[in-house]
Amino acid sequence: MKTAIYPGSFDPVTYGHLDIIERSAKLAEVLYVGILRNNSKKPLFSVEERIEMLEHETAHLPNVKVITFDGLLVDFARSVNAQVLVRGLRAVTDFEYELQMSQTNRKIAPEVDTIFLTTNLKYAYLSSSIVKEVAFYQGDISAFVPPYVAEKIHQKMG
């Protein structure tokens, strides 16, 4: 696996994402963490803030590059010569959407393949939305995100 992309919204990055990043960085020569810019969801963090948090949390991984993209994921993959898309699978509920996405991507760009890493069981329940919801009600998010990210969430939510 030469060049891989791990795409997502990362609003914000969680321990679940970081687990997938660490593991895929061992499989790929270069791993692009791709943040989607033109997302229809209304994000809590700007793209620049998400880049900054991801760069902070992946600084110890020399072959990981944080980058943003617009439009189709497979066009982004082609533009950086990536052969592989990485997605994390938490539970069977993720499967249907992920299967549909990977099959569509493969139809559009047969030269780009998707591989799935099963999320570490420790983080199988975790999502950025759940973290934001717990933080919104002043719950403890220290088990879900690194301290630096937790601080940013608290600042954002006042």
Among all residues, which ones are annotated catalytic? 17, 41, 90, 128
Shortest Cβ 5–ligand PNS spacing (Å): 9
**Among residues 1, 3, 9, 67, which is the contact residue for ligand PNS, using CB under 6 A?**
9
Shortest Cβ 158–ligand PNS spacing (Å): 25
Shortest Cβ 14–ligand PNS spacing (Å): 10
The residues, any chain, with a CB within 8 Å of residue 37's CB and separated by 6 or more, are 47, 68, 69, 70
Helices (H), the chain: 15-27, 47-57, 73-79, 92-108, 128-136, 147-157
Cα–Cα dist 66/85, whole Å:
14
Q: Residue 89, SS3? A: strand
Cα 56 from chain centroid (whole Å): 14
**Among residues 4, 5, 6, 8, which is the contact residue for ligand PNS, using CB under 6 A?**
8
Phi, psi for residue 18 in degrees, rounded to 5? -65, -35
Enumerate residues 38-77 that contact ligand PNS by CB under 6 A: 72-73
Which residue lies nearer to ligand PNS by CB, 36 or 150? 36
36 binds ligand PNS (CB under 6 A): yes
Which residue lies nearer to ligand PNS by CB, 76 or 135? 76
Contact residues toward ligand PNS (CB under 6 A) are 7-9, 36, 72-73, 101, 104-105
